[in-house]
Amino acid sequence: MARPSIAERVLKGLEEARDHAAGKEVRGLVEHVPKDIDVAAIRKKTNLSQAAFANMIAVKLPTLRNWEQGRRTPEGPARVLLTMVNKKPNIVVSTLAPKLAAAKSTKAPAKAKLCSKRAAKPQDAA
């Protein structure tokens, strides 16, 4: 029997991905999800406070605290997102919080920000 062409293998892979996304069993599929997630260590990689990190990943602050203190465990999409943050924190932060990432990359003094706001105000007519 001849080996399937590249196009046939790609199509089969796409069909398997569609089936997996629909919740169907895909023969031979192996999911790689870490058993334990150290949420506090992951957050620290981003140099964000608990409040800022919770806001970035769209969870409530008490939820994040429960995860960090081991009272609860992240599940589903949150677990996947935390795994992504753990592997590539800069990419995830720049994607989910672009203003925050830009502020971190440019360490402008606070006074410079205030001056630019004042300059944007219309001048009094004299």
Instruction: Name the token pair of 78.
Output: 């949150």
* Number of C-beta neighbours around residue 57 at 10 A: 23
Report pLDDT digits (tens) over 30-78.
776 667 899 999 999 999 999 999 999 999 999 999 999 999 999 989 9
Q: Higher-confidence residue: 22 or 31? A: 22
Q: Can you say how many angstroms the Cα of residue 23 is from the centroid of all Cα atoms in its chain?
A: 23
pTM above 0.75, yes or no: no
Q: What 3-state class would DSSP assign to 33?
A: coil
* Element of type H or E holding 80: helix 76-87
Q: Please tell me the total number of residues recorded for the chain in this structure.
A: 126
The pLDDT of 97-119, averaged and rounded, is: 52
